[in-house]
Every structure is written in structure tokens, then in C-alpha cells.
Amino acid sequence: MKRKICVVVASRANYGRVKYLMRAVQSHPDLELQVIVGASTLLERFGKAINVIKADGFTPVRSIHYVIEGETLATQAKSTGLGIVELSSAFEDLQPDMVVTVADRFETMATAIAATYLNIPLVHLQGGEVSGNIDDRVRHAITKLADLHFVASELSAQRVVSMGENPRYVFNYGCPAMDILANEDMSISNEQMSRYLGVGRPIDWSKPYVLMIQHPVTTSYGHGFEEVSQTLQALKSIPDIQKVVMWPNVDAGSDDVSKGIRHFREFNMNEPIYYYKNFSPEDYARVLNNALCCVGNSSSFIREAAYLGVPSVIVGDRQQGREHGRNVVFASYDRDHIAAQVRAQVDHGRYEPDYLFGRGDAGQRIAAELATTDFRHGA
């Protein structure tokens, strides 16, 4: 009898983190993959990542809407509750042997609570890390709910064990997002990127560009407009380089950040900037790999960019305290400071690859563990 492994994909970032694990589970002779797609992966304004998931050959067994409109602190809490309700029904119907959830978002919390109360073993990826907003507390709470822990670094493994988790069920195989970087062609061209449409001055992918992604910070809710405006003004002060700007995630405060981007865009249409909603995991990796520098607060600038050696400027406190490699410098929410750090990183150029978060073989190793681990509740 195959073990049924249910993977819940609830954001575009989730999918990039777990895609190679899904492939490994799908191809393993002793495992059966169940995919639930929900939350912002179903929404057009966040790039509708479900279309990418289906195009990659995965057939979701459930598509669940549980994002409440508004992107406020209250709607984030209510979306978590709705996710618990909807996912509980799905798990009860599908009867998986294990549920896999990723990282530290409110959707992840909903998955963790639903699986735990149904007494389904919970598999948590990327536990034990530290960051500077509510994700930090959510991640550690999920660690205490989880049964199997697949962390991305040795320091994270130590933290999970120090929280009282059984070392027997804590595995450091690295982050499956590194698998994309290790196994895909990372070159980029105008031809392969022409299928993505956005707004602004089109990018010539054969020429230098800076990549910007800035998400809302829940612990400074209400300040997203001002925070992202500082970063955009910093990029404007560097007129000789193209910029790629991606839309923020669905966290509380997303509307403020989106409004800041739209406001800047409307008054700066002649700037060499193009605005995108989403890319496939592979194409996002290519965009990241070929950037002169990354700026904003995406965790991919710390994780994937370290593996690739891409210079990164982390703005503000969303990633405060997070383990990082040599490629990262930090900046305050001040346009002059951000611009100076970006220029310094561009001048520095590429860093040596840093394998802090794995070497690109996590998916297969995690799938093998899921097929063989003799986990028992309370063991």
C-alpha cells in the first residue's frame, strides 16, 4: 500500500520551495502524491500560480479559496480560520497518511492546525529559522505542531531540537528550492521570457538589470506604502540600469505595498522599470540568477541568491535575524541608504556560491525519508 502524501501549496513562493519534492513523491514507487492548491495560488492578481502548477504536470485533487479580501491584520486572521475549516474537510475526505506544509505563513498555520487536530502526521519544511516579523512566531508554533522536520540548515536543526523535538525526526537535507538551481539551465533570453506580460518599459533580458521584490511587514502594518516608496525612489536614482519589479505577496499590508507600486508607476512611466506578477519557479530562478543585484525583502534573496552568489540588499526588518550568506547586505527604509547599498553590491559583483541552505538534492532525500520513516505519534 502506497503512503499518501498530501502537499498543500498556498502561494507562489510555497510552490517554488516544494516543487522538486512533489516531483520526487510523484515518481516514488511507494508514495502517492495528493496536491491541494489554495489561497493566493488561485487569484489572478497574485499571478494565478495554479496555472503554472498544472502546466508542470500536477493535477490538484482540491482547489480551495480561503483568502478573504482586504489584506488587513483581521482578514489575515480570518483567512487562517477559513483555511482550517476548508482544509479539515479536504483532509477528512482524502485521508492522507502525511500532510506536508512549508515555512511560516498564515496558510501554513491553517494547514498545520487542520492536520494536527485530525491526527494526521505533519511534515514541516524550513522550520527552525529566525526572521523579523510575525512569520517567526508562526514558524516556531508550526514546529511544535509538526511530527517530521525537514530543515534547511544545521543551525535550524539545532534550534528545532532545542525546542524539544525528537532529534530522530529532524533532518537537514537543505531546501528543495535549491534543487531547481542545481538541475535547471539558469541562462535567460528575451525569447523564453516573452510569454510573460506586465506593465512598464519592457526589459531587454540580454542587458543588466536589478530585481526588486518587497513584501509587506505585518509587524509594521500600515507603513507599506512609505516603505516600498523609499525602495522605488532609490532605484529611480540609479537611472542607468533596468529594473524588474514583482508584485508583493498576500500578507496583511499587501494593498498598501501594491498601492505604493502603482502610485510610483503612474508618475514614472518613462523609467526603465517593468512590473510583473509572477513567473514559473524555473523562470524566477533565471531572473534571480542573472540579476546584477536583488533589492527588497524576499527570503529568496537570502536562500537561492546565496546558492547562486547574487548580490542582495535586504531592506527593513522582515528578514531581521535570519541566517544568511556572504551575498547579503542590509539597508534601512531610507532611499539614500538603499541606493548606496545597491550601488556597492553592483560594484562588488558576484559572490562565490554559498551552500548554506543545501546543494540541490533535497527533494529526493526527503521523499525517500517519507517512504521509509517509521514515525509514530508520541514516539
231 vs 237, 269, 320, 344, CA distance in Å?
10, 16, 17, 15
Considering its fold, how many domains does the chain have in total? 2
CA angle 77, 94, 98 (to 5 degrees): 75
pLDDT at 378 over 60: no
Residues 31, 153 within the same domain: yes
Residues 339-357 as b or e (16 or more Cβ within 10 Å = b) = bbbbbebbeeeebebbebb
pLDDT category at 317 given cuts 50, 70, 90 is confident
**Quick check: is 183 in a domain?**
no
**Quick check: is 306 in a domain?**
yes
The per-residue pLDDT for 348 is 98
Residues 146, 216 within the same domain: no
The per-residue pLDDT for 46 is 85
**Quick check: is 107 in a domain?**
yes
**Quick check: is 379 in a domain?**
no
Residues 137, 198 within the same domain: no
- What integer is the mean pLDDT of 292-307? 96
- What integer is the mean pLDDT of 227-246? 97
Residues 241, 332 within the same domain: yes
**Quick check: is 182 in a domain?**
no
In whole numbers, what is the pLDDT of the chain averaged over residues? 94
**Quick check: is 62 in a domain?**
yes
- What integer is the mean pLDDT of 271-285? 95
Residues 245, 293 within the same domain: yes
pLDDT at 47 over 90: no
Percent of the chain surpassing pLDDT 70: 99
The per-residue pLDDT for 288 is 98
Residues 47, 82 within the same domain: yes
**Quick check: is 280 in a domain?**
yes
Residues 143, 196 within the same domain: no
Cell 531587454 sits at which residue?
Answer: 204
pLDDT tens by residue, 123-164: 999 999 988 777 788 999 999 999 999 999 999 999 999 999
Residues 130, 54 within the same domain: yes
The residue range of the domain holding 322 is 190-348
33 vs 23, 59, 64, 65, 69, CA distance in Å?
9, 10, 17, 21, 30
CB 314 within 8 A of CB 337: no
Residues 274, 322 within the same domain: yes
pLDDT tens by residue, 204-221: 999 999 999 999 998 888
CATH number for 338: 3.40.50.2000
Residues 37, 151 within the same domain: yes
pLDDT tens by residue, 329-356: 999 999 999 999 999 999 999 999 999 9
The per-residue pLDDT for 376 is 63
As a whole number of angstroms, the distance between CA 328 and CA 306 comes to 8
Upper half-sphere CA count for residue 122 (Cβ side, 13 Å): 26
pLDDT tens by residue, 12-44: 888 999 999 999 999 999 999 999 999 999 998
Residues 123, 63 within the same domain: yes
Residues 340, 368 within the same domain: no
**Quick check: is 150 in a domain?**
yes
pLDDT at 377 over 70: no
The per-residue pLDDT for 71 is 82
